Structure 1
Amino acid sequence: MYFSEHLKEKLEDYMSYYSKVRIVRTKKREGLIRTRLLGASVAKGEVLTFLDSHCEVNVNWLPPLLNQIALNHKTIVCPMIDVIDHNHFGYEAQAGDAMRGAFDWEMYYKRIPIPPELQRTDPSDPFESPVMAGGLFAVDRKWFWELGGYDPGLEIWGGEQYEISFKVWMCGGEMYDVPCSRVGHIYRKYVPYKVPTGTSLARIRNVASNLCIDSKHGATGTELRLDNCVKDGTERTWSHEQLFTFGWRQDIRPGEPLHTRKFCFDSISQSSPVTLYDCHGMKGNQHWSYRKDKTLFHPVSNSCVDCNPAEKKIFMNRCDPLSETQQWIFEHINMTILQKFNIYNNS
């Protein structure tokens, strides 16, 4: 996507020389993932190939990728990602060259050596990898949509490589890195654009209004408000038949978002608004309990989180377990862990 004024009509004139290229524009900034979904939705080819814009493909890079997909359409294939120096554009392979993708317990992407038992006789042969690097891969178009595509709720970039990788292996697919396919990638020294703050780990939906607490765009001191739970009306759903019953799927552990500040719900007294403030870890105004009647209880003020759906306002009020405007549902979170958290903090 481009935002510079001079790249609008001039860009279309320039790209008109390439008959196979189409320009698709969004009405507002959507971020990498939703923009990729838009491109994939209008693509007509049998195979989708995703590349970052700051890439340069090498000689004969595409046939080795297509070959693996031809052997099994439920395959995602990734090229070897070489390094283009951001200062002088020198080109070289990454240290260790052919290595598998992995991640540590903080969800940082890592490259690890191929173990001896999985070493290939021919070093040019494709090899399986648990996790892709994220930005560069090819996939059968129908298989991509069978997997559910990307989660449209992902913002900017970071995390999508795990989502796609996990779904591939959990849904009976395969993922290969292909040494004969080489693509150069510029690793920038810094990120030249602003990233929205306030990534939340859970979604809290109000029973009465079916709206959700919007904390994505908050800064310290921001009053919480209600907003539509899924802004574009689409949400990926899964049936148990689509997934293998891996036991580890149920073993979710709580973690922390990367590259964001830690904000906590904060309130002063009954009838006051609920705001976001930097987490201080001292309980007090930031101490909350989620109770069995679905209320969010604030011990300091002896009140509960309430809302006005018409005005989309969130505030504290005297607890009324029969009021649906005070009933909240945590979604996409392990409720067992939440209950244990409440027991621990109340002990």
Structure 2
Amino acid sequence: MSEDMSKKLTVIIPFLNEGMEVAHTVASIRQYAADRVEILVINDASNHLYDYEEMLKPYSATYLRNEERLGIAACRDLGVSLIQTPYFLFLDAHMRFYREGWAEQIADYLDEDDRRLLCCQTYALVKDESDEVIPLSGRGVSYGAYISFQDANLLSPKWIFTEDPEPEKELIDIPCVFGAAYAASKRYWIYLRGLEGLIRYGFDETYISLKVWLEGGRCQLIKNIEAGHIYRTRSPYRVCQDELMYNRLWIAALLLPDELEEKVFSICRHQNEPLYQKMLQLLDEHKDLLAELKEHYKQIFTVDFDRVKRLSNIY
């Protein structure tokens, strides 16, 4: 990517089989941020017959195509490694913006403190029968997410639907980012080792949010930056249960205290014993990386896990 020191933020958009929505998302970024941000679009080996590179030419976006699918976690880490700006914003490829100034506001917050993981406010959208994008009716305002530590969905993010906890503030602490519009500094992301260890898809938000809080940073919601997110009835790609189980086991083995780790492993085993055994074998194949990351986090984490857990347990 070209280096332009006047720009502080790169929008990173990994996608798979998103069709025209890729261009619509990039067009929305350019409409409200013009040329004040860089845009990096990563095609994760789409097999739909769209000429994405040609589609994106009017928007001055850097386009990269993976010959083999890496998965969302690895694509995000790849994107961060390639950018020249100090900060980035991850987006899905089916999103919209609605006002100017959002890019500068994100950069200003990260200038103040680059040990933040910032989450934009989610504005839920759907497509109607004529394929027009409209607000999702009946959805209340959410204030980030919390991490479930209570049930069979342990480690899953859950929306926080409540009254505005701090109406006088534009920026508030939240237990977990959610909604597919997250910003951070490249320096901090690399220091935390990003999403390293996850495979394909699942639990990205839980993983990075826990690491930020355990390191002593903060996950925060920017309430006045709305990122429109189109919610769909079906995904353009297949999400496999092995990916979801493996990533949950990985987080448990790497970050959780013994009691919670055992609980996660027990839940996964009871859900699907044959798949669980297969994922245990895969974990064993990656034991050297697991050990390396454990040592890294032992050196940089400063916050007790019970304190981090309490952030979510109040919901």
- Normalised by the size of structure 2, how large is the TM-score? 0.62
1:79 aligned onto 2:127: no
- Equivalent position SS for 2:68: coil
Residue type at the aligned position of 1:76 = L
Q: Which residue matches 1:62?
A: 103
Residue type at the aligned position of 1:229 = E
Change (3 A) 1:114 1:81: same
Query: Does the CA contact (< 8 Å) of 2:95 and 2:228 recur in 1?
Result: yes
1:131 aligned onto 2:150: no
Residue among 153, 158, 165 paired with 1:110: 158
Change (3 A) 1:232 1:112: same
Residue type at the aligned position of 1:138 = A
Alpha-carbon distance, 1:14 to partner: 3.5
Q: Distance in 1 between matches of 2:88 and 2:196?
A: 17
Q: Distance in 1 between matches of 2:282 and 2:125?
A: 45
Q: Distance in 2 between matches of 1:111 and 1:150?
A: 21
Q: Say which structure, 1 or 2, has more relative contact order (CA 8 Å, 6+ apart).
A: 2
Q: Distance in 2 between matches of 1:232 and 1:3?
A: 31
Give % identity: 21
Alpha-carbon distance, 1:3 to partner: 2.4
Residue among 243, 252, 259 paired with 2:301: 243
Q: Which residue matches 2:285?
A: 229
- Equivalent position SS for 2:59: coil
Alignment deviations for residues 216-257 of structure 1 (CA, whole Å, 9 cap, x no partner):
xx879x9x9889924998964524230025153999xxxxxx
Alpha-carbon distance, 1:177 to partner: 0.7
Q: Distance in 2 between matches of 1:247 and 1:49?
A: 27
Q: Distance in 2 between matches of 1:151 and 1:190?
A: 27
Q: Which residue matches 1:27?
A: 67
Alignment deviations for residues 315-342 of structure 1 (CA, whole Å, 9 cap, x no partner):
xxxxxxxxxxxxxxxxxxxxxxxxxxxx
Alignment deviations for residues 110-146 of structure 1 (CA, whole Å, 9 cap, x no partner):
2235678x52335xx2111111115211101111111
Query: Does the CA contact (< 8 Å) of 2:172 and 2:220 recur in 1?
Result: yes
Q: Which residue matches 2:46?
A: 3
Query: Does the CA contact (< 8 Å) of 1:82 and 1:93 recur in 2?
Result: no
Alpha-carbon distance, 1:184 to partner: 0.5
Q: Which residue matches 1:279?
A: none
Q: Distance in 2 between matches of 1:132 and 1:45?
A: 22
1:53 aligned onto 2:97: no
Q: Which residue matches 1:185?
A: 229
Alignment deviations for residues 64-113 of structure 1 (CA, whole Å, 9 cap, x no partner):
32222122111111111101113341136883325241133223322235
Q: Which residue matches 1:120?
A: 167
Alpha-carbon RMSD across the aligned residues, in angstroms, is 3.7
Change (3 A) 1:93 1:82: farther
1:160 aligned onto 2:204: yes
- Equivalent position SS for 1:155: coil
- The runs of 5 or more residues in structure 1 that have no matched partner are 205-217, 252-347
Q: Distance in 2 between matches of 1:161 and 1:133?
A: 6
Residue type at the aligned position of 2:203 = G
Q: Distance in 1 between matches of 2:106 and 2:236?
A: 31
Q: Distance in 1 between matches of 2:308 and 2:184?
A: 28
Q: Which residue matches 1:37?
A: 77
Query: Does the CA contact (< 8 Å) of 1:102 and 1:111 recur in 2?
Result: yes
- Equivalent position SS for 1:177: strand
Alpha-carbon distance, 1:154 to partner: 3.0
- Equivalent position SS for 1:64: helix
- Structure having the higher helix fraction is 2
Q: Distance in 1 between matches of 2:282 and 2:275?
A: 16
- Equivalent position SS for 1:137: strand
1:144 aligned onto 2:200: no
